[in-house]
Structure 1
C-alpha cells in the first residue's frame, strides 16, 4: 500500500462553494481517484440510494454558467457534455465505498482531511473576524467617550471664561 502524495493545495483548488456547501465536481474526483468520469457516474447511479441530496446533487445550467464566468471551469465542454454531479464531504467519503479501490479509499481520506482543515481554517478566520469586530466596537465606543470628554471640557472652559469677565468701569461714549 503506497502513500498518496498530492499537495493539499491541488485538492483545495478543486473544492467549490455551491448552494452554500463545499463540493467537488465528479470529473475532478474521477481524476483524483484515477477512474474514468463515466465509470464514477455509473457507480453512483447503480448505488443511488447511498447518495442522498446532502451527499450529492447535479448542477443546473445556471450554476455551470456561473462557474464558467468565474473561471472555476474553462468551459461547458470541459464537463463532458452532461450536467455534472457534485459531491459534498459526505459524498466524497461514500464514493470510496462504491468505487472499491485502494486508491479511492486513500484519496477519500486525503480529501476529507483537506475538507476538515478547510473547515478549521474558516472557523479560525471567523473567530478572528469576530474578535476584530469586537475591538472595532470598543474603539468606536472609546472615540465617542473621548469626544464627550472634550465637549465637557469645552463647556467648562466657556463657563470659566464667562466667570472672569468683569463689567468695565468708567465713562462710556
Structure 2
C-alpha cells in the first residue's frame, strides 16, 4: 500500500475515478498494488470482501494484458514507420534516377550512324 502523489490524484480526478479532491477530505489517497490486494484478501474473511478482492485481482490482470497489448501495438507501429521511411527514401531515389534519365535524353546529341551506307551517287 502506498500514497498517491498530487499529480496522480489530479489524474484520478480527471479520469473520473474520484469525483473531486474534496471528496478525499483534503488528504492524498492510499492505493494498493496487486500484491497488496492479495494480502488484503487473506485478512478479510467476509463473503463480499472475498468477491471484491477476486474482482480487483481480475482487473489487475486485465490491466496487465492491456498494457502488454498496447506495448506490442506501439512496437508494431514503430516498425511500420521505419519501413515507410525506408520505402519513401527508395521511391525518392527512383524518381531522382528518372529525372536524371530525362535530363540526359533532353540533352542528347545526334549520333553518327554506323553500319552499311549505300552509295547514293
| Alpha-carbon RMSD | 2.4
Question: Which ranges of structure 2 fall in alignment gaps of 5 or more residues?
Answer: 112-121
Q: Distance in 2 between matches of 1:136 and 1:117?
A: 28
In our comparison, the structure showing a higher alpha carbon Rg is 2
Greater RCO (CA < 8 Å, at least 6 residues apart): 1
C-alpha displacement of 1:138: 0.6
- The 5 Å alignment of 1:23-172 reads 56-60=1-5, 62-63=6-7, 66-67=10-11, 70=14, 71-80=16-25, 82-164=27-109
Q: Is the 8 A contact 2:9 2:29 kept in 1?
A: no
Higher strand share: 1
Q: Distance in 1 between matches of 2:102 and 2:26?
A: 79
Alpha-carbon spacing, 1:135–1:65, altered in 2? closer, same or farther (3 Å)? closer
Alpha-carbon spacing, 1:152–1:102, altered in 2? closer, same or farther (3 Å)? same
Q: Distance in 2 between matches of 1:78 and 1:154?
A: 68
C-alpha displacement of 1:108: 1.3
Structure 2-normalised TM-score?
Answer: 0.74
Structure 1-normalised TM-score?
Answer: 0.54
Question: Which ranges of structure 1 fall in alignment gaps of 5 or more residues?
Answer: 1-55, 167-173
C-alpha displacement of 1:106: 2.3
Q: Is the 8 A contact 2:2 2:30 kept in 1?
A: yes
Equivalent pairs, count:
110
Q: Is the 8 A contact 1:64 1:76 kept in 2?
A: no
C-alpha displacement of 1:72: 3.9
C-alpha displacement of 1:64: 6.9
